[in-house]
Amino acid sequence: MNGAQSLIQTLVNCGVDTCFANPGTSEMHLVAALDTVKGLRPVLCLFEGVATGAADGYGRVAGKPAVTLLHLGPGLANGLANLHNARRAATPVVNIVGDHATNHLQYDALLTSDIVGFARPVSSWIHETRSAGLAASDAARAVQAARAAPGGIATLILPADAAWNAAERAAERLPDIGPEIVGADTIEDVAKLMSNGKKTAMLLRGSGLFGKGLEAAGRIHAKTGVRLTCDTFAPHAEVGAGYVPVERIPYFGEQVTAFLAGTEQLIMVGSKPPVSFFAYPDKPSWCVPATCELVYLAHPHEDSVTALQNLADALGAPRETSARVALQLPDLPAGSLNSLSVAQIIARLTPDHAIYADESNTASLPLLMTLARARPHTHLPLAGGSIGQGLPLAVGAALAAPDRKVICPHGDGGAAYTMQALWTMAREKLDVTTVIYANRSYAILNYEMFRVGVAAVGENARAMLDLHNPEMNWVQIAGGLGVEASRATTAEEFAAQYESAMKHRGPRLIEAMI
């Protein structure tokens, strides 16, 4: 066996089963090993930002890392923005980045670069493999690092000679690091605080927003009436009918301040105190009331689920909460197509347990409001603010959960960053329905221009926020990348096309002319 084979076999031994790849010459032995070693599904992505965003979507849904295969420094650099998003989401991801053979580096050939320098800002763990014999143990350590609570980006750099030279054997999976159990003293302290009659809110993130964690939060609410909240871009949440209701904190800073007004205690569960997304002249960045006490039940690296369960028990909460979201589906609208009618149609027609890879941007408000009471679903938003994530996220989510419909509501501006994801959806026959909000604009930036205090917007500035001239044709773009697509200009057209997409498997794209 060579180093590449020992590395791939080790990834498989560690439970990694999906590889989002865009390889080059320095990764050819790794590519060849995808045939000789069984168990790692290779998925070709036409741009590295698709590969890294897909790894994020996969990791958020599967709860374990996928691996990316990237070509030296420039390949990694192309994937950085979505690694930034994945880092913000605390998604476990393993990057394997090829490098020149060790003896070639001295010649400073064209693709030589500072790979560690590119990797550092997004990685919680970086390592350069020194020889083929060490590739297996380095891969096992990379998986362990990615899985370390709460989840991180592990980047392993593999010189070409460490891939092609002989290796002895693969390595086995290493034990998980964390999550740490929150101590009994902390549980007791928080239980006392929750019984002191003060106006209290809980800010949930990570495993507190789905499965057993969300159930335990519901028990605590049933006993104490605590307000359950999550931040605008909570990376993974179970939402809709039958789930415990959680209030989503709004986007703009002053809305967050109003939302939290009067809160005397804010209990963090795997979260940080909310701040405004951007700074604005004369507006505060800090959104928590000055007199509000900040309490940490669980830090992100700690076990939120057990902490919530132990807190519920300490409070004497009922075994289950009866406070559940009631199903409330909107009627199908008629007439004009806009972000509200699109949201109503999506909420009405999407089946149970769909996954939303959501980059709906300015269309998100009506969507989130209607989905809050729609059929049960998983919500995966843009976690790090770097647009161009929704389509890749949908690719990864669809591969992690092949039996679930994936819906990708997406701004046209953001979708243009990583439209190559459509090709991977077509090639892998992924069950993703993409809805492009074709407003021909960077609409949010029009608000932001006003909010940062720009008084006069001239022709040049306006042109920087406008996507007419020429207009992107998403039906042609999708068709050119192998995805069946259609355009809707009225609510009736959109409903008919969306209904058809829900009835069939496979990738579809609807360009919604809002």
Ligand X SMILES: Cc1ncc(C[n+]2csc(CCOP(=O)(O)OP(=O)(O)O)c2C)c(N)n1
Residues that bind ligand X (CB under 6 A): 81, 361-363, 385-387, 411-414, 439, 441-445
Query: Between residues 67 and 415, which has the closer beta carbon with respect to ligand X?
Result: 415
Please choose, from the candidates 135, 198, 179, 138, the residue with its C-alpha nearest in 3D space to the C-alpha of residue 3.
Answer: 135
Shortest Å, Cβ 82 to ligand X: 9
Angle of helix 80-88 relative to helix 48-62, nearest 10 degrees, comes to 20
Asked if 427 contacts 398 with a C-beta cutoff of 8 angstroms, the reply is: no
Query: Between residues 182 and 415, which has the closer beta carbon with respect to ligand X?
Result: 415
Query: Between residues 37 and 435, which has the closer beta carbon with respect to ligand X?
Result: 435
Asked if 355 contacts 403 with a C-beta cutoff of 8 angstroms, the reply is: no
Shortest Å, Cβ 226 to ligand X: 33
Shortest Å, Cβ 81 to ligand X: 5
* 224 phi and psi angles, rounded to 5 deg: -110, -15
Query: Between residues 118 and 243, which has the closer beta carbon with respect to ligand X?
Result: 118
Q: In the complex, which residue's CB is closest to ligand X?
A: 411
Shortest Å, Cβ 72 to ligand X: 22
Query: Between residues 262 and 385, which has the closer beta carbon with respect to ligand X?
Result: 385
* 510 phi and psi angles, rounded to 5 deg: -120, 125
Shortest Å, Cβ 277 to ligand X: 10
- Can you tell me the distance from the alpha carbon of 474 to that of 164, in angstroms, rounded to the nearest whole number? 43
Query: Between residues 387 and 485, which has the closer beta carbon with respect to ligand X?
Result: 387
Query: What are the strands, taking DSSP E only, across 276-415?
Result: 293-298, 354-358, 377-381, 406-411
Shortest Å, Cβ 451 to ligand X: 13
Shortest Å, Cβ 439 to ligand X: 5
Shortest Å, Cβ 413 to ligand X: 3
Neighbours of 321 (CB within 10 A): 20
Query: Between residues 330 and 366, which has the closer beta carbon with respect to ligand X?
Result: 366
Shortest Å, Cβ 127 to ligand X: 28
- Can you tell me the distance from the alpha carbon of 52 to that of 79, in angstroms, rounded to the nearest whole number? 6
Sign of dihedral through CA atoms 365, 367, 372, 373?
positive
Q: Give pairs for 30-39: CB < 8 Å, separation 24+.
A: 30/4, 30/69, 30/96, 30/98, 30/158, 30/163, 31/69, 32/4, 33/2, 33/4, 33/5, 33/7, 33/8, 33/163, 34/8, 36/5, 37/5, 37/8, 37/9, 37/12, 38/12, 39/12
Residue type for position 332? L
Q: Give pairs for 253-257: CB < 8 Å, separation 24+.
A: 253/277, 253/280, 253/283, 253/284, 253/285, 253/287, 254/283, 256/287, 257/284, 257/287, 257/289
- Can you tell me the distance from the alpha carbon of 232 to that of 274, in angstroms, rounded to the nearest whole number? 9
- Can you tell me the distance from the alpha carbon of 28 to that of 36, in angstroms, rounded to the nearest whole number? 13
Query: Between residues 150 and 366, which has the closer beta carbon with respect to ligand X?
Result: 366
Query: Between residues 12 and 444, which has the closer beta carbon with respect to ligand X?
Result: 444
Shortest Å, Cβ 474 to ligand X: 11
Helix (H) or strand (E) holding 98, with range, is: strand 93-99
Query: Between residues 251 and 259, which has the closer beta carbon with respect to ligand X?
Result: 251
